Amino acid sequence: MGTLYMIVGTLVALGVLVTFHEFGHFWVARRCGVKVLRFSVGFGKPLLRWSDRHGTEFVIAAIPLGGYVKMLDEREADVPGALLGGAFNRKSVRQRFAIVSAGPLANFLLALAFFWLLAMLGSEQVRPVIGAVEAGSLAEQAGLAADEEILAVNGKRVTGWGEVNLQLVRRLGESGRLDLTVRELGASQEQHRQIVLHEWLKGVEEPDPIGALGIRPWRPQVAPVIAQLDPEGPARSAGVVLGDRLLSLNGQSLADWQQVIDQVGSLPGQPVRLVVEREGRQEEIALTLGVRGEGAFARGYLGAGVAAGEWPAEMLREVSFGPLEAMVEGGRRTWAMSLLTLDSLKKMLLGELSVKNLSGPITIAKVAGASAQSGLGDFLNFLAYLSISLGVLNLLPIPVLDGGHLLFYLVEWVRGRPLSDRVQGWGMQIGITLVVGVMLLALVNDIGRL
């Protein structure tokens, strides 16, 4: 079933995002008087095709990994004199700029629409209450304590752990002060805590910002009864089965799942002895824990999980907006995620963020499947994030991408004439090399995660 969700989720995601992106180019091109020859969703052999009254051929092709809009252009083929007015290359710099930028803009508008819808539907969020603080951690040094709720990060109000994590991600690889506004449960007075960062989590693969501060979110107590198993994880390989109750790890008794998380996390790559209760009898299982993260941030990995605990009502909050408020919220989230994506790319170039965080088609497919299986809200959220990423990446000033074409048009506008075909050709070759290199790196990262 998971594989089916992954396939369907990926096809839907790519289909929606690519179609909307190309429709942006198509819609503006039509209004600028450019004759569109073909609108294709996918590459390769056409599976379905039809034409409209303007002579545009619409195609759904076999390989759903992109799409394109083919316009009448003298640089690609001879154009009859009667049709020259509809050629893309004959349009003004302003019109060509508008046509090319319309694709990425469509992606941002689509993300805004998804965020607007999600804001109106509302969501139930877990209040960001601290459950425990690790001894000697940055959080302890700053004076944070259990049963304090985080209200704001660097002055930005937060309503749940997701927003806390998002604000912390912005500080990855940076030095300086991190300001947290907190309030004790049951109290009314707000307090401020400052954490001093120094090249925080610089270059770390798969960083865990909340955990790296030494903060453990509050969770309801859950019995350590296995309800989930990673098919490739250490627990499954060693013989742990669904329904096993973990009694002890290396001789230390386990009464709550959080104890399992703490003990397993402190033993990355170490051999351990588990005692489990199975069908009324005890069994001892020897296994070697996996590793997640690297260096000082490496954590042990068991590859097992439990059923969700029952959250008390006072630890949850319902967050929703009216139609107009939701539009503002959608715009705010779209802008924030766009800046975060750009900032992350900059930090990768400067070495502040590990390039291993780049994701390729395999990871996208897995996340698409997981979000689709999780529910409509999570899937729409995933589509919004992916649409923003597609829009930002396409606007990068790299020849062969939309942003590269926009760069050429900007130079043409300043100079009063276009760059020579030779220079543009060199730019395209460099752009193709860069794009292929990044795609290969992302694919290698995907394979490494597998």
For every residue of 186-238, DSSP letters joined together read T----EEEEEEESSTTTT-SS--HHHHTTEEE-------BEEEE-TTSHHHHH
Instruction: State which amino acid sits at residue 189.
Output: Q
Please tell me whether residue 270 adopts helix, strand or coil conformation. coil
The answer to whether residue 22 is catalytic is yes
Residue (of 205, 166, 385) closest to 294 by Cα position: 205
φ/ψ bin of 203: left (φ > 0), alpha (ψ from -120 to 50), beta (otherwise): left
Instruction: State which amino acid sits at residue 201.
Output: L
Task: Find the length of the chain.
Answer: 450
Q: What is the pTM of this model?
A: 0.83
The verdict on domain 130-219 having CATH code 3.40.50.720 is no
The verdict on domain 226-309 having CATH code 3.30.470.10 is no
pLDDT of amino acid 165:
93
CA distance 357 to 344: 10
The tokens for 326 are 């939701």
Equal fold, 130-219 vs 226-309: yes
User: Which residues lie below 8 Å from residue 283, measured CB to CB, with a gap of 6+?
Assistant: 275, 276, 277
- CA distances 11 to 14, 18, 337, Å, are 5, 10, 23
CA distance 428 to 398: 8
In 251-331, beta strands by DSSP E: 252-253, 271-278, 281-288, 290-292, 299-301, 304-306, 316-319
pLDDT per residue rounded down to tens, the chain (450 residues) = 567 878 888 888 888 998 999 999 999 999 999 999 999 998 889 999 999 999 999 999 988 878 899 999 988 888 888 888 999 999 999 999 999 999 999 999 999 999 999 999 998 899 999 999 999 999 999 999 999 999 999 999 999 999 999 999 999 999 999 999 999 998 999 999 999 999 899 888 778 899 899 999 998 888 899 999 998 899 999 999 999 999 999 999 998 898 898 899 889 999 999 999 999 899 999 999 998 877 767 889 999 999 877 888 889 999 999 999 999 999 999 999 999 999 999 988 888 888 887 787 777 878 888 888 888 888 999 999 999 999 999 999 998 899 999 999 999 999 988 888 888 889 889 988 988 888 888 788 778 766
Is there a contact between 405 and 424 (Cβ–Cβ < 8 Å)? Answer: no
Q: With DSSP H G I counted as helix, E B as strand and the rest as coil, what are the percentages for the chain, rounded to 5?
A: 45, 25, 30
Is there a contact between 246 and 224 (Cβ–Cβ < 8 Å)? Answer: yes
Is there a contact between 87 and 34 (Cβ–Cβ < 8 Å)? Answer: yes
The tokens for 82 are 């009667």
- CA distances 41 to 59, 67, 305, 409, Å, are 6, 4, 40, 26
Helix and strand numbers, DSSP H then E, in the chain: 12, 18
pLDDT of amino acid 156:
93
| Catalytic residue (choose from 22, 148, 149, 163) | 22
pLDDT of amino acid 119:
95
pLDDT of amino acid 444:
82
pLDDT of amino acid 6:
81
Neighbours of 243 (CB within 10 A): 12
Domain boundaries, the chain: 1-32+91-120+320-424, 130-219, 226-309
Neighbours of 424 (CB within 10 A): 17
Residue appearing with tokens 């992302």: 442
